[in-house]
Each structure stands twice: as C-alpha cells, then as structure tokens.
Amino acid sequence: MSGKKAKMIVEKDFKVSEVDKRIYGSFVEHLGRAVYGGIYEPGHPEADENGFRKDVIELVKELNVPLVRYPGGNFVSGYNWEDGVGPKADRPRRLELAWRTIETNELGTNEFVDWAKLVNAEVNMAVNLGTRGIDDARNLLEYCNHPSGTYYSDLRISHGYKEPHKIKTWCLGNEMDGPWQIGHKTAHEYGRLANETAKVMKLVDPSIELVACGSSNRSMPTFADWEATVLDHTYENVEFISLHQYYGNRANDVANYLALSLEMDDFIKSVISIADYIKAKKHSKKTINLSFDEWNVWYHSNDADRKIDPWTIAPPQLEDIYNFEDALLVGSMLITLLKHADRVKIACMAQLVNVIAPIMTETGGPAWKQTIFYPYMHASVYGRGVVLNPIVSSPKYDSKDFTDVPVLDTTAVYNEEKEELTIFAVNRDLEDSLLLESDIRNFEGYKVVEHIVLENNELKQVNTAKEQAVVPHSRGDATNDNGIVTASLPKLSWNVIRLKK
C-alpha cells in the first residue's frame, strides 16, 4: 500500500445539474464499416429480417445509448438524403467524396430510424449545409416530422412510414470551419446560412432543437472567433453550439496522455465563455448549451487509413483498436463531461461501431467489446441523476504539457429516485495505488453495493474477437464506516463505487 491519499466530501446540496441523458449519446456515420458490416449486414448469421445485426443491437443496448447522431460527419456535407429513401432497387450508387468510397445507399433515413428504435435511442439528424442548404433541410424535416397531407410527408407515407419520425434534435451541418469539409465556409458564410436554415426549419416544426457547428477542434486557427461569429448570427434560433475533440498518445507519454482531459475541461470552459459573451452582447435572456457531439481517442488507425484504395464499398477505415490506457482517458473524458452537466446537455462518443468505436465486428463474424466500452457503459448505466460537486483534495503531478494534474479524477452522481450514489474515479498514478476517503455523511443509511475496477498491468493490452483481456471486476475494496467511504484505487485504474440506501 502506498502512502498516497486523497479526500473528497460529497454533499447532496452541492449540485452541478441534472444529467441530460443525451450526454451519453453516440454517432453512426456512413464511413468505413460503421453502417455496412457494422449495424447492417444482411446475410450475417446474426442478421434480423431487415439486415440489422442482432449481436450489435444487444451490445448497443448494454451501453444504454439514448441518442445517435446520423448520417455524419464529413459524409453529410455531400449527401443527398433523397438517395437513401424509397425502394432499395431504385437507389443510386454515388461517389462518396468525404471518404472517397462508393455509397450504395442501401441504408438511409427510414432504415436508420427503424434501427434506432431497436436500440431504444433517439436520432440526432444532421442536414447537409456543404453542397446543399435551406431547401433540402426543410424538405428533409417535412419528410421526417410532418404528419401528412404535403408532398414530402406523403412521400414518407408512400415509403411505408405512416407515422412521422418526430426527430427532435438536428445538427446544422458538420465541421463547416474545416478546409477538408465539402462546401467549407467562413464563419460569416456559415453563420448566415445556419441562421436562415434554422428559421425555416423552426417554421416547419417549432418543437425541434438545433445545434450550430462550433470549431472542428480547439487547435483550429479560427477557434473562438468562429464560435463568436456563428453565435452572433444564430443566437436566437439555435439551442446548442457543438464541440469536437479527439486525443491520442503519439509520443507514448502516459502521464501527459492521461492529463488530456484537463485540456478538454478548458475547451468546454472556453466555449461557455464565448457563448455567454454573445448572450451579454445581445442582452439575451437565453442561454446556449453545448453539444460535445464528437469526442474520443483517435490515432491508432491513421497510418492504415492512408493506404486504403479509393472507390471501394465500406473499406475498413478509422478502425482504432483501443488499449487499456485509452480506456482510462475515456473514463476521465466522461468525468469531464459530467462535471459540466449544467451546460453540456448532449455529447456523442464518436463513433459507435467499427469506426473509432467501443464495439468492433468482423464482417460475417463475431462482435466484441473494445476496452473503452466499459467506462462508457458504466457512466451511461450508473451516471443518471444529479451530478454533485464534491470538494476534492488530491496529490498532483506535472507532465510535459500540464502542471498540477490531480492524481485523482473524480465526480459523483446522485439518483434520488433510486436512492443511489455513484462515485466515478480514475487514479492517474503510474506507480502507486491511492487511498480515497469520501465523506458521505449527508447520505445516511447508504451502503457500498459494488466497487467496480478496470485495471491491467499492460497499458497496451487490447481486446480481440478471441480474447477479452481488459475487463472490469467487482473485487474493489470500498467500505462505508459511519459515512466515511474508504477505498483503495489501484494504480492506473478506472473505478465505479456504487452506494445504495
């Protein structure tokens, strides 16, 4: 046992916010094998009558995913939604320019809505503001949400969908600040188009919520100016501004890598500041919230992706195989999102299957859980309720890019209805376990029901179809003695301490 100790005080009244369940959302893009060979594979032994893989459905249900962003991503900026509806035999094959593949359009809007229902998720639909604009956005919305009696609503009915899809959340394009984006725009160009599109969409269906594109990542040269300009145009007609961020351990510096969630924390605070500046500038009573609708680790597959031949169908693109250290950072990223639950109302782990994903499949073969599956599942299943703001004291360390990195990364979620308290904690220490003392005297009669630990001696250990080498266990030693919960957090570990009245 090391001599390192950390303390936290957890009080019922120290509330950050109710968790919006959409914070545990995900993302399925027409990219690589996310759709074809991922969620959809007719002829697979596990395929249902519609071609959906039942083994994948079961894994997604285990994650308890409430919302899935679709159909992109870079893909959406060149996508004609009409290609993906109506009789499959009549659907065109297209050159898909974002990822330079062939899109068969076998699966489109209606099929995806069908699939989302099977996994108990809502759809977060993106519209094409790259090659298209206001007209297509309003037409797609009418097709999806209008009951009947108009051209596009009756077209949907003729395609076999009498009831409207009632899609509530819509993204106004994707990463429009990125020079790689089809139809890339300046902040003014995008802001004007997004605002006019938002106005028209809200005329079609006033009940929807809209997400304006923020920066593609924090290191974009236009970051901050982009957000301010876009929100200046769109403030009164959108509900959310988006954030995207991916991290990698290219330098193989574990201490620095595990501290990257501090950068994510700072990114969130920066975007909140910008949104609130525009609120003040406009003397508005409305608060813009955040949709962190792309986040994950992504770097393992970069070299392989450069070697893929263009114009093939569903090639294996962006297939990161995640290791144990990636799961630790993903755990900290989830903790960071929860700490900002007052403003981050939507978040989408990008993506869900095969493409930088917690779930992997073999085409024609099995599906399995990547290392990052576990913290995502634990947060989604046990992190429902109110995020509390614990007072924490922890040892700290310095790394290449960060100073004063807390060894303990933690938060707590209180579910009053179920009378449950969950403490999520990452021990970032490379050498030593950490003794955590949590004062929960405010929670009278609560007992430890489980202390889940994800740990592994090999940081680079991965899971495969043949072997699940990185899996959590419930042998954690957390105990509650008169309102003081004591737990030993193993070095480099993800911990879920569950208490119930």
Is 106 catalytic? The answer is no
The fraction of the chain above a pLDDT of 70, given in percent, is 100
Tens-place pLDDT, residues 384-425: 999 999 999 999 999 999 999 999 999 999 999 999 999 999
pLDDT value of position 192: 98
- Interval 426-465: pLDDT, tens: 999 999 999 999 999 999 999 999 999 999 999 999 999 9
Residue 2 has pLDDT above 60, yes or no: no
pLDDT tens sequence across 62-96? 999 999 999 999 999 999 999 999 999 999 999 99
Q: Which residue among the candidates 175, 227, 325, 455 is catalytic per the annotation?
A: 175
C-alpha to C-alpha distance for 5 and 489, rounded to whole angstroms: 10
Sequence-distant (6+) residues with CB within 8 A of 197 are 127, 129, 133, 134, 137, 138, 172
Amino acid occupying residue 173? G
* 319 labelled catalytic: no
Domains in the chain with CATH codes: 5-12+388-500 (2.60.40.1180), 20-382 (3.20.20.80)
Which of 294, 319, 420, 455 is the catalytic position? 294
Mean pLDDT confidence for 341-348: 98
Q: Please name the helix (run of DSSP H) or strand (run of DSSP E) that holds residue 388, with its range, or none.
A: strand 386-388
C-beta neighbour count of 479 within 10 angstroms: 12
Q: Tens digit of pLDDT for each residue in 168-203?
A: 999 999 999 999 999 999 999 999 999 999 999 999
Of the candidates 239, 212, 237, the one whose C-alpha atom is nearest the C-alpha of residue 227 is: 212
Distance, in Å, from the CA atom of 348 to the CA atom of 63, rounded to the nearest integer, reads 13
For the segment 292-314, the average pLDDT, to the nearest whole number, is 96
Judge whether residue 1 has pLDDT over 80. no
pLDDT score of 257 more than 60 = yes
Average pLDDT over residues 365-372: 98
In percent, the amount of the chain with pLDDT more than 90 equals: 99
**Confidence band for 3, pLDDT divided at 50, 70 and 90:** confident
The identity of residue 246, as a single letter, is Y
Q: How far apart are CA 133 and CA 197, in angstroms?
A: 7
Q: How far is 336 from 347, CA to CA, in rounded Å? A: 11
Separation of alpha carbons 469 and 454, rounded Å: 11
Mean pLDDT of 32-50: 98
- Backbone φ, ψ for residue 88 (5° rounding): -60, -35
Per-residue pLDDT for 150 more than 60? yes
Q: How many CB atoms lie within 10 A of CB 74?
A: 22
